[in-house]
Chains A and B, each alone.
Chain A
Amino acid sequence: MSQSKDLGPLIAAEAGDSRNRAITSAINGVTARRWLGYGAVYVVLTAIAIVFMIPLLWMFATSLKSRSEIFAWPPSWIPEQPLWSNYAMAFEKYPLARFMMNTSVLVIFNIIGELLAVPLIAYGFARLNFPFKRVLFILMLSTMMIPGQIKLIPLYSIYSRLGLVNTYVPLVLPAFFGNPFFIFLMVQYIRTIPRDLDEAARIDGAGTWTILYRIILPLCKPVLAVMIVFTFLWVWNDFLQPLIYLNDFYSYPISVGLAFFRGRYSVEWNLFMAATLVSILPVLVLYFFAQRHLIGGIASLGLKG
């Protein structure tokens, strides 16, 4: 986490650094050569950026084309007449709103679960002393290495025996027991908070839980933000688990819902690309607003998107 705190000043320093260097190099009279070098780098970076964006741009272009135009040869980048109505039709054709609502419910409950469990657990690991703490911490870290798939069959049979298959319980319940990645992240973060704060509060008569919820937690906002962003991303993009646990079409989250339509309307790629684009829109919006937290989380822990 300290990484994400560091990123801001680091980037600022970077900008200042390059400005200073530009000035010095101007004095030395090598500005032209330097800017030529910059230019080459920008050309390369722009070329790569275009290649990276082609798939998304093509998807967008397709989503605005008519049915005949999508199979026209040669295909064009810009639709003759952009059909924004494709989006309305996509919402009509596929229960997109319903699927996205379902995913949102899963996202919200997962976030609530993590927010309730992770701070409590992390605080215990970071601040309280008790026998076997080190062993338990190593045990927790080692569970991160186990591929989730090996637990799938026993868990499925337990849920099925409890009559919980085809409900959201299997997709939400684990969050209430804390994700080890987040616990680790938060333990690391709490360790950077000076202990003097705890001690001062304790002298003022505050108990352990008061210290956690009144003193530590308010200072943990950056790490809580990372947790919320990643929970959103992971739950929004999760596919295998809802595929296994849900059978009822109208309870599908957006990932399973979209995959269900694959091949069924394979000629209507324009509507289908519109639907796919709509499905990733919330993630893109979140990404642009929460980029700092996201990239900070990745940099410090290697969390993947």
Chain B
Amino acid sequence: MATATWRTAKPQARREAIEGYISLLPWMIGFVGFTAIPLAASVYLGFTQWNIIEPPQWIGLDNYVRMFTRDPLFWQALKVTLGFVALSLPLKLVFGLGLALLLNLKIPGMNFFRTVFYIPAVISGVAVSLMWMWLLQPDTGVVNTMLYFLGIQGPNWFWDPNWALPSVAMMSVWKVGGSAVIYLAGLQNIPAHLYEAAQIDGAGRWARFWRITLPLLTPTLFFQLIIEMIDSFKVFTEAFVITQGGPLKATYFYLLYFYEEAFQNFNMGYASALALVLTIIILLATVFVNYTSKRWVFYESE
């Protein structure tokens, strides 16, 4: 189609093209209005000082210079967020995969367990946050009570600077059923004849896992790694509802800082710069994972 010019195209094709553009019209309007313009505006605003009431003032690279050289809050937010990514990603990967392997066993009643494990993944961040706040109360919370009966003195969880971030990571592991279902779909796509052939060749359980299951699951793992990494960079609700960044800024997540700068202090210019930096970090991390994927992601057709 693209090779035929408009003038030489048959009326039939021309009509179809017009109909095609009409069908795409809502998306194209949305793309310009909700993505292209806001994105460009955000890049521009990152170079300005702006309190939303007066017109934005161009200040060049000042926002970025301030961010990288004399803004301890930026570094703290970055540290917390990267720490969370490093802490929660491996946990979710291991638990999610483990759960999926269990669910993939061909025995009756698995649908019931799949239903149960997935429940936490559909509940809203606010409700989950409030619930865990109550569960992890230092004195009367159910977790510390159970630990007490096991003879363990439970920590102060969200209210202890050393434990606050791991507590948020623990909450995210509770929602791991969401990724387990995706791994499960990946596992079920592995052709059964491979296992049968391996069994005939005398491969044991471990050999089958390391030589067949894991390599053939790497595309799913890769996809899920990227999705979950992007998500981990965007934690907001838990920090806003439970800890409000504390104690001692131990859970001062990047987006919480962005939110406070933009919508509480109305430093819209600086907040735009913060948002752009986060976007670039996410982009670089994605490119990096994608780059390493050549070494460890296995595609059957290769």
A interface vs B, CB < 8 Å? 3, 10-11, 14-15, 17-18, 21, 38, 41-42, 44-45, 48-49, 52-56, 58-59, 62, 70-71, 73-75, 116-117, 120-121, 123-125, 128-133, 136, 139-140, 143, 145-147, 149-158, 160, 174, 176-178, 180, 183, 208-209, 233, 236-237, 239-240, 243-244, 255-256, 258-259, 262, 269, 272-273, 276, 279-280, 283-284, 286-288, 291, 294-295, 298-300, 302, 304-305
Asked if B131 contacts A59 (CB within 8 A), the reply is yes
Contacts of A146 in B (CB 8 A): 35, 39, 279
Give Cα A52 to B171, complex, Å.
Answer: 11
Give Cα A57 to B93, complex, Å.
Answer: 26
Asked if A240 contacts B237 (CB within 8 A), the reply is yes
The main secondary structure of chain B at its interface with chain A is helix
Asked if B234 contacts A18 (CB within 8 A), the reply is no
Contacts of B275 in A (CB 8 A): 147, 149-150, 152-153
Asked if B113 contacts A151 (CB within 8 A), the reply is no
A149-B234, A302-B224 in contact; A259/B240 too (CB < 8 A)? yes
Q: Which 7 A-B pairs have the closest CB atoms?
A: A177-B30, A124-B23, A130-B20, A299-B185, A237-B124, A154-B41, A128-B20
Asked if A151 contacts B42 (CB within 8 A), the reply is yes
Q: Is B165 an interface residue (CB 8 A)?
A: no
Asked if B124 contacts A130 (CB within 8 A), the reply is no
B residues contacting the other copy or chain, number (CB 8 A): 98
Kindly count the residue-residue contacts between A and B in the assembled complex, taking CB atoms under 8 Å apart. 268
Asked if A117 contacts B130 (CB within 8 A), the reply is no
Contacts of A259 in B (CB 8 A): 126, 129-130, 240-241
Q: Is B209 an interface residue (CB 8 A)?
A: no
Give Cα A44 to B113, complex, Å.
Answer: 11
Contacts of B23 in A (CB 8 A): 120-121, 123-124, 128
A3-B185, A153-B272, A299-B181 in contact; A258/B130 too (CB < 8 A)? yes
Q: Of B41, B42, B122, B234, which one neighbours A305 at CB under 8 angstroms?
A: B122
